[in-house]
């Protein structure tokens, strides 16, 4: 796991930045420092080397010491937090002291805060750059993206690091790994990393180059090979979600869909309808936990429920058939299983889920055995269901 970037070789040509995160609540673990990851990613994309990140409490003395040391060894220091009235503005006061100015006057660029009250700033001092940003992510992110980033881009001399995420479902991490093993070893300036999360494996192609055009060209070359190996296991790129891919596939073929859920409890419908405009193809969803509801709403015969059990291939298919008919949809989906943590038996353990897809021409039922918590089992089942729709639209 992780990228195999040779830091020394790649980075010594770039400007060097550090992040100082300010806030006692970070040191108490009350909040997770997502700002650091956001800024790190953006700096990397701009070809700026993030050398070090540190977190300090709301303490002017410690902050002063950290700022001083950081400016000694790096070109850029970015602070987050400690701005504004509530925490008594320790950042600005400390920066002013460092720059030997009573109040920070002209010569600095104030950054407007369109969401909150505390402004940020950019100061240049003896060839170094100090950028102060607010703590709340929804204030920090637009301020950094709109004001600080264009400024840094100019300063960084045109180096850029671009990345492209190629997202797959339907294969385990080890299977994806086997298909692209040689690519994971390619050397900078273009590299490939593999990242797995529940029900999804992503390949990340990264390239550093002078200018976006060159980086894009290097990425496209590797991407072409990846696509030829992973084919239709790829559902999307970068920020695209599986539910968006489902919407795209249904729209392209002008298909409509209806979903009958039991153990996933509405999660599949909710994910499909997270996509704007999904009302064009999503006709109906039902969540039928009780057998009675399966009979009454979906027309699943009592006999089948009795003979095969509610968690069975047959019932999944009948649920799909029933909801399809009820809604007048082209595709019907039926899902039944045991999300746990209770309710499992030796024959039908927790994690056993049947997922059926029925159209007028197809009838596919998959038997899945998932592991994890109730929510993880629900999610994995929804992932397989969405992937079945994407592949069979």
C-alpha–C-alpha distance, residues 20 and 136, integer Å: 15
Q: Where does residue 382 fall: left (phi above 0), alpha (psi -120 to 50 degrees), or beta otherwise?
A: alpha
SS3 at position 156:
coil
Distance in Å, CB of 14 to a copy of itself, minimum: 12
Distance in Å, CB of 86 to a copy of itself, minimum: 6
**Closer of 62 and 181 to a copy of itself (Cβ):** 62
C-alpha–C-alpha distance, residues 316 and 336, integer Å: 6
SS3 at position 133:
strand
* Residue 93 near residue 82, CB atoms below 8 Å: no
Residues 8-67 that bind a copy of itself (CB under 8 A): 23-34, 36-44, 50-59, 62
**Closer of 31 and 172 to a copy of itself (Cβ):** 31
Indicate whether 157 belongs to the interface with a copy of itself (CB under 8 A): no
Distance in Å, CB of 99 to a copy of itself, minimum: 23
Distance in Å, CB of 21 to a copy of itself, minimum: 8
C-alpha–C-alpha distance, residues 279 and 290, integer Å: 27
Indicate whether 286 belongs to the interface with a copy of itself (CB under 8 A): yes
**Closer of 36 and 316 to a copy of itself (Cβ):** 36
Choices 141-149, 173-181, 287-295, 361-369; region in contact with a copy of itself by CB under 8 A: 287-295
C-alpha–C-alpha distance, residues 85 and 93, integer Å: 12
Distance between the two ends of the chain, CA-based, in angstroms? 34
Indicate whether 282 belongs to the interface with a copy of itself (CB under 8 A): yes
Among residues 95, 97, 101, 71, the alpha carbon closest in space to that of 83 is found at 95
Q: Which of 279, 346, 347, 360 touches a copy of itself by CB under 8 A?
A: 279
**Closer of 91 and 264 to a copy of itself (Cβ):** 264
**Closer of 5 and 108 to a copy of itself (Cβ):** 5
List all residues 6 or more positions away from 185 whose beta carbon is below 8 Å from its beta carbon.
4
| Residue 20: φ, ψ to 5° | -115, 115
Distance in Å, CB of 389 to a copy of itself, minimum: 15
Q: Which of 123, 133, 176, 283 touches a copy of itself by CB under 8 A?
A: 283
Q: Where does residue 107 fall: left (phi above 0), alpha (psi -120 to 50 degrees), or beta otherwise?
A: left
**Beta strand pairing status for 76-80 and 16-22?**
parallel
- How many other CB atoms sit within 10 Å of the CB of residue 275? 20
How many residues sit close enough to a copy of itself to count as binding (CB under 8 A)? 79
Residues 259-278 that bind a copy of itself (CB under 8 A): 259, 261, 264-270, 272-274, 276-278
Indicate whether 375 belongs to the interface with a copy of itself (CB under 8 A): yes
Residues 318-357 that bind a copy of itself (CB under 8 A): 326-327, 339-342
Q: Which of 212, 289, 307, 349 touches a copy of itself by CB under 8 A?
A: 289
């Amino acid at each position: 796991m992780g990228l195999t970037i040779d830091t020394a070789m790649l980075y010594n040509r770039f400007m060097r930045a550090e992040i100082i995160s300010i806030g006692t609540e970070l040191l108490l673990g009350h909040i997770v420092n997502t700002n650091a990851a956001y800024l790190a990613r953006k700096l990397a994309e701009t070809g700026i080397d993030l050398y070090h990140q540190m977190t300090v409490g709301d303490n002017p003395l410690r902050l002063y010491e950290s700022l001083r040391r950081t400016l000694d060894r790096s070109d850029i220091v970015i602070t987050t937090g400690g701005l504004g009235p509530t925490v008594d503005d320790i950042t600005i006061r400390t920066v002013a002291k460092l720059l030997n100015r009573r109040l920070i006057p002209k010569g600095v660029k104030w950054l407007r805060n369109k969401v909150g009250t505390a402004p940020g700033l950019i100061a240049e001092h003896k060839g170094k750059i100090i950028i102060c940003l607010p703590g709340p992510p929804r204030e920090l992110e637009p301020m950094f993206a709109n004001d600080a980033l264009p400024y840094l881009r100019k300063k960084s001399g045109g180096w850029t690091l671009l990345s492209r995420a190629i997202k797959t479902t339907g294969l385990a991490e080890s299977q994806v790994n086997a298909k692209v093993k040689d690519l994971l070893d390619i050397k900078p300036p273009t590299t490939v990393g593999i990242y797995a999360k529940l029900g999804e494996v992503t390949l990340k192609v990264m390239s550093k180059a002078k200018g976006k055009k060159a980086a894009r060209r290097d990425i496209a070359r590797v991407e072409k090979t990846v696509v030829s190996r992973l084919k239709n296991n790829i559902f999307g790129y970068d920020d695209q979600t599986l539910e968006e891919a489902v919407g795209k596939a249904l729209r392209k073929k002008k298909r409509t869909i209806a979903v009958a859920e039991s153990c996933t409890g509405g999660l599949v419908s909710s994910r499909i309808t997270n996509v704007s405009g999904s009302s064009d193809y999503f006709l109906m969803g039902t969540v039928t936990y009780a057998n009675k509801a399966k009979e009454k709403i979906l027309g699943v015969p009592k006999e089948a429920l009795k003979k095969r059990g509610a968690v069975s291939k047959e019932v999944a298919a009948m649920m799909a058939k029933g909801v399809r008919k009820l809604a007048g949809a082209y595709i019907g989906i039926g899902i039944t299983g045991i999300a746990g943590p209770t309710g499992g038996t030796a024959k039908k353990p927790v994690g056993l889920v049947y997922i059926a897809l029925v159209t007028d021409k197809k009838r596919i039922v998959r038997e899945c055995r998932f592991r994890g918590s109730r929510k993880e089992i629900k999610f994995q089942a929804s992932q397989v269901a969405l992937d079945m729709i994407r592949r069979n639209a």
